[in-house]
Amino acid sequence: MFSWRQQTGRVSWAFTDREGGRSVGEFDSFNLGGHVGDDPEAVEANRGALAAAVDVPRDHLLFMQQCHGADVVVVDGPWAPAGPPPADGVVTATPGLALAVLVADCTPVLLADVAAGVVGAVHAGRPGMTTGIIDVAVARMRELGARELAAVVGPSICARCYEVPEELRAAAAAVAPESSARSWTGTPAIDVAAGVVAQLAANDVAVHWVPGCSREDDRLFSYRRDGRTGRYAGVVLAGAS
């Protein structure tokens, strides 16, 4: 279920893998994505198991309606019956809410001010990185009272596996020069995670970067590798002080 997990004070951080769930076929087996064609009952069973593993009620495990944008929403309780709004970042100062980000090559970013109990989860793909979602998320968290922010950047597709046209690499490099890269065959590539890490550092956020490439690691879902596939998650939660 977990590829990486850590506790820092009252903040819990984790990234899942694809093992130990109810999904079958190309979604085998711990798929958490509800928009990829998997059996909805299997997805909900997997999400319920994740909620139990992080010790929150199911409705306190909050997934987003991700759309590759730069919108970040502030929450203080479970989603309304209509479900989450379109967003690629979610932040809260409410203890006991587990915030989740889904990925299958994009960069998952978990943020927290451990002392203040403010946490956030961000979906940072190439579009999010280039449109400044990290800056928006940090600003929202500081509006909630965060001062000493730390981030955990999870496994994602690495630079040597993310081949792109030269114009996309140039556009990304214009925003984050650190993202400019070459693939394993020497073609233009983007290192989204390196760009995200540089943006976090520019915002005075301490970074822990969990190693791993989603395309190279069969324990993780990868859209670039498999096409039709599931999603793994990053989850962050602040308990009561």
The pLDDT value given to residue 240 = 80
Per DSSP bridges, beta strands 89-92 and 72-74 are parallel
**DSSP state, 79?**
P
- pTM (predicted TM-score): 0.97
Instruction: Tell me which CATH code domain 2-238 carries.
Output: 3.60.140.10
Handedness of CA 226, 70, 195, 123 (dihedral sign): negative
- Residue 9 DSSP one-character state: T
Give the residue extent of every domain in the chain: 2-238
Is 241 a residue whose pLDDT tops 80? Answer: no
Contact in structure between 217 and 83 (CB atoms under 8 Å): no
Cα separation of 58 and 44, whole Å?
9
pLDDT of residue 203: 98
pLDDT in tens, 57-95: 999 999 999 999 999 999 999 999 989 999 999 999 999
pLDDT digits (tens, 9 = 90+) for 166-213: 999 999 999 999 999 999 999 999 999 999 999 999 999 999 999 999
Q: What is the pLDDT of residue 202?
A: 98
In the chain, the percentage of residues whose pLDDT exceeds 70 is: 100
CA-nearest of 114, 99, 134 to 14 is 99
Q: How do residues 42-51 score in pLDDT, each as one tens digit?
A: 999 999 999 9
Query: Is 229's pLDDT higher than 80?
Result: yes
Residue 139 has pLDDT above 90, yes or no: yes
Q: Check residue 173 and give its pLDDT.
A: 97
Q: Cβ(122)–Cβ(137) under 8 Å?
A: yes
